[in-house]
């Protein structure tokens, strides 16, 4: 999941440099939500017993 977030962030940077603002914004939104999901799942796996 973290790999996908990094891939979308790189895609957003490349799209931003090339002038595709819509694609860059969408890619950064996807990357942001993937990172948030990763952090939540990481914290839950550390806290949850078992």
> Domain residue spans in the chain?
2-47
Percent of the chain at pLDDT > 70 equals 98
For the chain, the average pLDDT equals 91
Total-model pTM = 0.79
Both tokens of residue 48?
Answer: 């949850």
Residue 49: the pLDDT is 78
Cα(47)–Cα(21) distance, rounded to whole angstroms?
39
Q: What are phi and psi of 19, to 5 degrees?
A: 95, 10
| Count of helix runs (H) and strand runs (E) in the chain | 2, 0
Cα(50)–Cα(27) distance, rounded to whole angstroms?
35
């Amino acid at each position: 999941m973290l790999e996908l977030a990094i891939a979308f962030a790189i895609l957003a940077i490349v799209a931003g440099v090339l002038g595709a603002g819509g694609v860059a914004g969408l890619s950064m939104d996807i990357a942001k939500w993937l990172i948030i999901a990763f952090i939540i799942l990481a914290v839950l796996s550390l806290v949850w017993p078992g």
